[in-house]
Structure 1
């Protein structure tokens, strides 16, 4: 379970839907391949960006199987397997293992606001149900209950818990907990807008939304930081902040619209998520254009529609 692979920018993949609202597995396979050839060490499937609450059990398993098939051992596949019901989280975790996942990402139970002893028992039950490594996901803005430092340290005593996706945006927390955790444990930001300072303060990477759009730029940010070139990493990071802000504001609809401009997927979402209004579409289109044509130089080869889409991305009719 040595998690050296859990590093850098790891994309949290969206789930593409076709014109009938069904999962578009072919488009999903293309997203997986794009991330692999761009240098990702892992991909996350069926989690927040993947609109997990709207996916059926069969769809989740199918996404994992397709990702494993495309990856073919080149990268690790991390399956979103969280729920606010422990038995459901256990079921999803076992299903992910059966589908071939390399690890699971398990979120703090949401809505029912369990006490810390309940969180510890929940995650222990998940771990005991599988032989897979478990990555914890703490996102207080969505769950209304944070994973405390004490509970995190208790869980990290087991080598089966290999990391934390910290979506709190609290950089002080990283500094506070980093030295108390065992050497095997990986700390990853779940917030694109604070990812650079998080990694500069000792974090191992970021499970990212914006990496879906500009994977090469994200990997360049991380490489510059690790090579001791902080000014370069800041310059590159600042280039993607405007689009990252828009993606965060209307997630995941904004990402799906942005990827549709590149010809990669349809902008289709599932209720209660709806597509962007015209004003938001215009903002996303402008932010993509301002990134510069060099960011899309390899897109036509990866996706035949991309050449047309990138030349027309100022035209809102290409939805």
Structure 2
């Protein structure tokens, strides 16, 4: 399987009465496919994987695979700071029929680069589908260094990285050290064009939850050689992107979706509702982008 190009949405997990709302999840999946999303990323950070039980994650992944029904790739977040648990979840997701795995660096126990290398290699040895590494040191406390990424690329199942370090120089070094076949995805929505300019193939996107077509079009404008058009599209969304990260993701994106009638539902503790002053900033950003607040559903 060749990993996707374009916009992979880091899909929220709709929750109602503290239970996963599968009716809304199914509607969101169909809406994304209709609006040119290029891949669904299930149970990532934006999907609140940290507060889903293991059984909930397995069910969400299986439901997503069945609902997508082969129309676009499904990538499952199966990372853990326990290598054995990551292997178990990865094998379960593979059995459910996902097209690839998104595996975050181990968090909290803060292993060395040697530990990262052995962790990812151990998981890759146990599955038969592509793996996208996920580097987000701001959340995990661990930075997957370019030289380690280059060593990991040797494994045939490790085929890409979601880079959310925010360090463009680091992304450039990954691009320099790895082959042209190794896929780099932007993990920061305000850096999609900069990462594409270094050879990136797309984004795993939060803003795509409410701007699916626009995120797809931004990426393919660049990939199609329309660089100035892509630049303008990037700058055009950056104000909204900034407001979507004014508090911890996925608090603002779920809030935005609820404001737009998309029924993303509740957040699970320890995440809480947005502070009123931040919510007002988000509302103004949505209005500036042309969204209608509190009206009919936007999907």
Shared fold (TM-score, shorter chain, > 0.5)? yes
Residue 80 of structure 1: CA displacement? 0.4
Counterparts of 1:105 and 1:111, CA distance in 2: 18
Q: Is the 8 A contact 2:147 2:177 kept in 1?
A: no
The answer on whether the counterparts of 2:240 and 2:285 sit within 8 Å (CA) in structure 1 is yes
* Counterpart for residue 96 of structure 1: 93
252, 272, 283: which is aligned to 2:281?
283
2:158 is aligned to: 161
Whole-Å separation in 2 of the counterparts to 1:121 and 1:142: 21
Q: What is the match of residue 222 of structure 2?
A: 225
SS of match in other structure, 2:19: coil
Contact 2:192 2:219 in 1 (8 A): no
- SS at 2:296 equivalent: helix
Unaligned runs of 5+ in 2: none
3-state DSSP class of the match of 1:308?
A: coil
In structure 2, distance between residues paired with 1:165 and 1:222: 15
Matches of 2:12 and 2:180 in 1, distance apart? 31
Runs of 4+ in 1 over 3 A off after TM superposition: none
CA distance in 2, matches of 1:184, 1:292: 38
Q: Which residue of 2 aligns with 1:146?
A: 143
- State the Cα deviation string for residues 199-234 of structure 1 (Å, max 9, x = none): 122211111100111111111211221222222212
Cα RMSD between the aligned structures? 1.7
* Residue in 2 that maps onto 1:2: 2
User: How many residue pairs get matched?
Assistant: 297
Shift of 1:307: 5.1
Which residue, out of 102, 107, 110, partners 1:105?
Answer: 102
Matched, 1:252 2:250: yes
Deviations 1:47-68 (A, max 9, x none): 1001111001111111111111
SS, match of residue 86 in structure 2: helix
Matches of residues 151-230 of structure 1 in structure 2 within 5 Å?
151-230=148-227
In 2, distance between residues paired with 1:182 and 1:238? Answer: 29
Q: Check 1:149–1:194 CA distance in 2 against 1; reply closer, same or farther (3 A cut).
A: same
Match of 1:117 in 2: 114
Give the Å deviation of 1:190: 0.4
Normalised TM-score (structure 2): 0.94
